[in-house]
A and B are shown apart, each in its own frame.
Chain A
Amino acid sequence: MKKIKSLADLRKSKADTLARIHAKEKIRIRVHMGTSGLASGAKEIFDFLTVELEKRSINGIVVGTGDMGYCFAEPTIEVTRPGEDPVVFGNVDKLKADEIIEKFIKNGYYVEGLLPVNYQTIN
């Protein structure tokens, strides 16, 4: 950990982290773990994905985040394949998570339960 002593330091930290996040060839999974997600079992999915990625030798990282607001479909996860747009899946249980790994993460095929993006971002 480095202390940020100026605006330049802050911007350097930003660039470093972005470079790390967007490291090539790495699958990035976000498990939405706010109150609503956790109450529907997001922690279990987080653990399952962490273990299974390792077991199936997939180069990826699982991160816990807050909720996106999709309370009707929790637990939700977001998967980003390298160089592609992120895709969100809802109502994920272990079976669904397994299907997502095998079909989407490995081959890029969508699976049922995909939640279309229906918002604009500010960036």
Chain B
Amino acid sequence: MAKQKKQLLVCGGKSCSSHNSEVLYDNLCLELEANALENEVSVVRSGCFGLCHLGPVVMVMPEKVVYVKVNPDDTRDIIAEHLIKGRKVERLLYHDPVSGKIIPEEKDFAPLKKQMRIVLRNCGIIDPENIEEAIAHDAYEALGRVLTEMKPADVIRIIRDSGLRGRGGGGFPTGLKWEIAYNNKSDEKYVVCNADEGDPGAFMDRSVLEGDPHAVLEAMAICGYSIGAGKGLIYIRAEYPLAVARLKTAIRQARDYGLLGDDIMGTGFSFDIEIRYGAGAFVCGEETALIHSMEGLRGEPTVKPPFPAESGFRGKPTNVNNVETFACISPIILKGAKWFSSIGTEKSKGTKVFALAGKINNVGLIEVPMGITLREVIYEIGGGIRNGKKFKAAQTGGPSGGCLTEKHLDTPIDFDNLLAAGSMMGSGGMIVMDEDDCMVSVARFFLDFTVEESCGKCSPCRIGNKRLHELLDHITKGKGVPADLDRLMNMSMVIKDTSLCGLGQSSPNPVLSTLNNFREEYEAHVTVKKCPAGQCRDLMEYFIISENCVGCTACARVCPVNAITGERKETHTINPSICIKCGACIEKCKFDAVIIR
């Protein structure tokens, strides 16, 4: 092979493919051949650039010039101008809408820099089972500086000034939390890391622990120094075996290196960390329930106050932070409070990791600055909705949160805006739903979860959620009446107002938010007994359109309950009282004669 001089990357993401990137690819290959360049230049399909709104995208390597909105007809220009004459094709370059400037190269290309990795800085970069690699990537440097150059009050001030808020869901200012624990005098204090990630669909804590466990260990030691604690505990669910194994290795290595244990780095400060296992109960993510579970008691919450910072683990002042919160600490110490607070919105600083799941093309973890819009997350980073369907809603905050709809697409995402929109940040799960998802079923699904996970201590949550779930179940089965909607509303408010802990106080949120945003869908279920999304099986009816039916008998033969009758070459009919709505006939019919109505 002759040495290739240039390579063209053509975005092969789903969105670009639907805008003719395949034809573009073919044209580029043909055009190269026509110019006898096929040995010098190669064309390669790449994964999604996350520039779906600017697609199809072509990047010329090695100079990293990005062309946007490239039509199949533009290939001649790219090859004749750029590759042969060495001049950039100006009309295909990105014009920055704010400054009006032309941005030719990848390094200045703002839309390609939407994500910012602070929490995930070392995930996928270092070998989590090798502490030396972690140290090479700045692990324990912040701890070293804190122990040698700062007083506890200085550290707390930096964290407070950075504006960091708890990433577990509530968004409580971390610096303030540390300060309260610091001010409570006691001979013994504890630092607890909450790794009981219970939101369905959220897995950022797991990824951090699996990819960069030292980030958490170091931050816990920093916290211990700041509040005056000598002992740290990590509460992690036993369902995360890989994270547990890597944490154990990391703790052992840190002890061997003298970065945990007595007299860390010769400064006289001692701090050690132990692991406590959880059985995966959702309520144990609540800090008082978590502490009880660690003490060997039932994982039930207690009324606050007293807050854990006053009386927590074994009655001693305890500071509980989430994995992601801890993972933000060392960069803040190393780069300063000002740097961190320059990222994000006025009241929510820094970045947030989201776990994208559901009907979205690029399922996975992303880390974005606070204040990014839902549109950017879904249509750019997430690569858009699967199979080109229409976006309907995104559930944030898991079973405690609510849904964001089309009208929220351009709202900047931060703690306060999400609350105002009737949802919450939660731990960062983001489940994307398309036009085929029934919102009543979605609410029922989340209630399923909370009913299962309610600890049973207080009656509003134990009984109320069960009744709420029953009502929703009735509605999806076509047994609902219009008055049920008000009943849902009232019951939700009572459960919210009277439950003991965060679980019950937030469990009706999915009901309230779907009811507020998609009331017409609920109404269709209770009045005309139809499910507009076509998902509630009990409200569907399979029907054969006589004009389309040719009487091939294929559907009748595949029906498992013999609900379809009809002579050969005559229109067939489905008997709704026998039909079990399995959908086999629809799949079999070649003439689109079977429909759901």
CA distance A123 to B381 in the complex (A): 22
Given A65-B124, A69-B364, verify A4-B265 contact (CB < 8 Å). Answer: yes
Q: Are B123 and A67 in contact (CB under 8 A)?
A: yes
Some 11 contacts from A to B, beta carbons below 8 A apart, are A5-B266, A30-B125, A36-B203, A66-B128, A69-B364, A112-B46, A113-B45, A118-B51, A118-B112, A120-B113, A122-B335
Q: Interface-forming stretch among B132-140, B287-295, B460-468, B555-563?
A: B132-140
CB neighbours (8 Å) of B145 from chain A are 7
Q: Are A67 and B124 in contact (CB under 8 A)?
A: yes
Q: Chain A, 31-55, contact with B by CB distance < 8 Å: what is the 0/1 string?
A: 0101110100000000000000000
Q: For the complex, what is the distance from the CA of A115 to the CA of B331, rounded to whole Å?
A: 26
A1 an interface residue at 8 Å Cβ cutoff? yes
Which residue of A63, A67, A68, A110 contacts B127 across the interface (Cβ within 8 Å)? A63
B51, B113, B124, B125: residue with the most chain A Cβ atoms closer than 10 Å: B124
Q: Say if the beta carbon of B575 comes within 8 Å of chain A.
A: no
B279 within 8 A of A: no
Q: Are A68 and B123 in contact (CB under 8 A)?
A: yes
Bound-state CA distance A39–B42 (Å) is 33
Give chain A interface residues in 93-114, CB to chain B under 8 Å.
107, 109-114
Q: In the complex, A115 Cα to B12 Cα: how many Å?
A: 10
Residue B164 CB within 8 A of the other chain: no
Contacts of B12 in A (CB 8 A): 112
User: Do A72 and B361 touch (CB < 8 A)?
Assistant: yes
The verdict on A60 contacting chain B, using a C-beta distance below 8 Å, is: no
Chain B 358-371 interface 0/1 with A at a Cβ cutoff of 8 Å (1 = within):
00011111110000
Which residues of B sit under 8 angstroms from A3, Cβ to Cβ?
A: 256-258
Cβ–Cβ < 8 Å partners of A59 in chain B: none
Most B-side CB within 10 Å, residue of A3, A36, A69: A69
Q: Is A72 within 8 A of B363, CB to CB? A: yes
Complex Cα distance A34/B258, Å?
A: 27
Give Cα A35 to B221, complex, Å: 27
In the complex the two chains form, is A35's CB within 8 Å of B120's CB? no
A57 within 8 A of B: no
Taking a contact as CB atoms under 8 Å apart, the answer to whether A121 and B117 are in contact is yes
Do A69 and B265 touch across chains, with their CB atoms under 8 A apart? no
Nearest CB on A from B26, distance (A): 14
A89, B215: Cα distance in complex, Å: 26
> Which residue on chain A has the smallest CB distance to residue B14?
A72
A69 neighbours in B (Cβ, 8 Å): 120, 123-124, 207, 364-367
Q: State the CA gap A116–B115 with chains docked (Å).
A: 12
Query: How many of B's residues come within 8 Å of A, CB to CB?
Result: 72
Residues of A within 8 A of B112 (CB): 116-118
Q: Which residues of A contact B (CB under 8 A)?
A: 1-7, 9-11, 13-14, 16-18, 21, 30, 32, 34-36, 38, 63-73, 76, 78, 90, 107, 109-123
Residues of A with C-beta under 8 A to B50: 116, 118
A65, A110, A115, A121: the one within 8 Å of B7 (CB): A110
- For residue B1, CB closer than 8 A to chain A, the reply is yes
**CB neighbours of A113 from chain B (8 A):** 45-47
Hey, what's the 0/1 contact readout for B526-557 against A, CB within 8 Å counting as 1?
00000000000000000000000000000000
| Known interface pairs A65-B128, A72-B362; 15 further A-B residue pairs with C-beta atoms within 8 A, sorted by A's residue number | A1-B257, A3-B258, A7-B145, A14-B135, A14-B138, A35-B243, A64-B127, A65-B124, A72-B361, A112-B45, A116-B9, A118-B112, A119-B367, A122-B121, A122-B335
Contacts of A64 in B (CB 8 A): 127, 129
Task: Using A35-B210, A121-B117, A122-B335 as known contacts, say yes or no to A110 and B42 having CB atoms under 8 A apart.
Answer: yes
Residue of A nearest to B366 (CB): A69
Q: Does B259 contact A (CB under 8 A)?
A: yes
Complex: A5 Cα to B12 Cα, angstroms: 51
Cα-based distance from A76 to B59 in the complex (angstroms)? 21
| Contacts A109-B4, A112-B12, A114-B47; A66 near B363 (Cβ below 8 A) | no
Which residues of chain A are within 8 angstroms of B48 by Cβ–Cβ distance? 115-116
